[in-house]
């Protein structure tokens, strides 16, 4: 697909992020297991959501739906919104977002700096409340908006199918044995998993989600009690894991203090799941290369109390 409006290609802007070996920070893994994480904060907007955001906005423009007089509309808990914001600014398109009222001051400041129109929803309803509000907005003014709908848009998983998975396969020289990722939109897990299975049929794909509906893992969904994204394909997973907020926070602190890498809560959750899986494999005497993604950097969350409990 050609780049929108003659801009630089996707490859020049988004993706090709480093793969970090964090194994030494977790000696419980054992000698035969290595754990890696993709440093997605290297993307222009500082998160993995730049991948899907670029594909979604570019597709909307190239298809003729997102013309200069239209406004891109979606819900977001933060990172996807930031992706839409910088991409919209770069490509000359307006962006309107419904976000939970609990969004951090830091993320709100970033969105406002890019000129995004913000509508705040009940923080107790989380991302699902923002989704419901966007649907009402779209129904009220269909002629004004183009609904990006990251939870149903196939570009959300296609971005990872075409970029994240091939990068991981190349960076591990095909040695990856397990891929672990949390479920939010589910695009990262579904898209990456589908392609990795094509590249290496024996790879094991493990999805992760919070251990209950009331959790502090921003961007992740407890599927049983949430609006399930239309793009979610449960059949992609070979196995499932649940991670508590506390376990995710403990993993993030451990990597910061033993490995010198700052992660946000969702990155901590992915790391916790990957380390737990790696430890179990090591205890079974198996060798493994476990890969996950670190969706963004911890700097965006330094105001949260879990850093100094």
- Cβ-in-10-Å burial (0-12, 13-18, 19+) of 163 comes to buried
Query: How sure is the predictor about 19, in pLDDT bands with cuts at 50, 70 and 90?
Result: very high
Domain boundary among 147, 171, 202: 147
Residues 76 and 121 in one domain: yes
Residue 225 neighbours by CB distance under 10 Å: 12
Structure-token pair, residue 291? 């890969």
Structure-token pair, residue 261? 């890498």
Residue in 37, 33, 95 with CA at minimum distance from that of residue 61: 95
Residue in 36, 30, 34, 23 with CA at minimum distance from that of residue 282: 30
> What letters, b where the CB count within 10 A reaches 16 and e where it falls short, cover 255-284?
bbeebebbbbbbbbbbbbbbbbbbbebbee
CATH number at residue 74: 3.40.50.1100
Over residues 28-80, the pLDDT tens digits come to: 998 999 999 999 999 999 999 999 999 999 999 999 999 999 999 999 878 99
> What letters, b where the CB count within 10 A reaches 16 and e where it falls short, cover 46-55?
bbbbbbbbbb
The answer, yes or no, to whether residue 4 has pLDDT greater than 50, is: no
The domain containing residue 78 runs over which residues?
A: 49-147
State the pLDDT at residue 5. Answer: 42
Please work out, in degrees rounded to the nearest 5, the angle formed at the alpha carbon of residue 41 by the alpha carbons of 269 and 38: 60
Residues 23 and 67 in one domain: no
Residues 120 and 195 in one domain: no
Asked if residue 181 is part of any domain, the answer here is yes
Asked if residue 137 is part of any domain, the answer here is yes
Residue in 277, 221, 276 with CA at minimum distance from that of residue 250: 276
Asked if residue 152 is part of any domain, the answer here is no
Q: Residue 209: phi, psi to the nearest 5? A: -145, 165
Query: Percent of the chain beyond pLDDT 90?
Result: 80
Residues 290 and 197 in one domain: yes
Q: Structurally, how many domains does the chain consist of? A: 2
Residue in 308, 294, 220 with CA at minimum distance from that of residue 264: 294
Structure-token pair, residue 183? 């479920």
State the pLDDT at residue 125. Answer: 86
Residues 141 and 247 in one domain: no
Q: Which residue has the higher pLDDT, 146 or 126?
A: 146
Residues 283 and 299 in one domain: yes
Is 21:292 a contact under the CB 8 Å cutoff? no
Alpha-carbon gap, residue 34 to 21, rounded angstroms: 7
Residues 41 and 54 in one domain: no
Domain boundary among 147, 182, 210: 147
Alpha-carbon gap, residue 5 to 238, rounded angstroms: 40
Residues 117 and 135 in one domain: yes
Query: How sure is the predictor about 12, in pLDDT bands with cuts at 50, 70 and 90?
Result: low
Residues 130 and 191 in one domain: no
SS (H, E, C) 31-89: CCEEEEEEEHHHCCCCECHHHHHHHHHHHHHHCCCCCCCCEEEEECCCHHHHHHHHHHH
Alpha-carbon gap, residue 270 to 252, rounded angstroms: 10
Residue in 58, 126, 65, 64 with CA at minimum distance from that of residue 98: 126
Query: Percent of the chain beyond pLDDT 70?
Result: 96
The answer, yes or no, to whether residue 9 has pLDDT greater than 80, is: no
Domain boundary among 104, 123, 147: 147
């Amino acid at each position: 697909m050609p780049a929108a409006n003659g801009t630089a290609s996707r490859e020049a802007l988004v993706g090709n992020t480093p793969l970090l070996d964090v194994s030494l920070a977790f000696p419980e893994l054992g000698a035969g297991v290595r754990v890696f994480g993709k440093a997605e904060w290297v993307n222009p907007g500082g998160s993995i959501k730049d991948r899907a955001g670029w594909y979604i906005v570019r597709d909307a423009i190239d298809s003729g739906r997102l013309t200069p007089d239209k406004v891109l509309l979606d819900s977001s808990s933060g990172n996807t919104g930031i992706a839409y914001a910088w991409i919209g600014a770069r490509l000359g398109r307006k962006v309107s977002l419904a976000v939970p009222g609990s969004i951090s001051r830091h993320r709100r400041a970033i969105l406002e700096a890019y000129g995004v129109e913000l509508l705040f929803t009940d923080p107790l309803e989380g991302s699902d409340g923002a989704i419901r509000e966007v649907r009402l907005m779209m129904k009220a003014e269909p002629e004004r908006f183009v609904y990006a709908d990251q939870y149903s848009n196939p570009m959300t998983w296609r971005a990872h199918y075409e970029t994240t998975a091939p990068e991981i396969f190349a960076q591990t020289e095909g040695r990856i044995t397990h891929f672990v990722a949390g479920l939010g939109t589910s695009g990262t897990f579904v898209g990456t998993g589908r392609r990795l299975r094509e590249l290496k049929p024996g790879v094991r794909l493990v999805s992760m989600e919070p251990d209950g509906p009331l959790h502090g893992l921003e961007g992740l969904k407890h599927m049983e009690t949430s609006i399930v994204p239309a793009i979610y394909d449960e059949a992609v997973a070979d196995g499932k894991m649940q991670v508590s907020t506390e376990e995710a926070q403990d993993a993030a602190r451990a990597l910061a203090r033993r490995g010198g890498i700052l992660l946000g809560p969702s990155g901590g959750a992915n790391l916790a799941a990957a380390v737990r899986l790696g430890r179990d494999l090591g205890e079974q005497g198996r060798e493994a290369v476990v890969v996950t993604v670190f969706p963004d950097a911890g700097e965006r969350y330094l105001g949260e109390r879990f850093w100094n409990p």
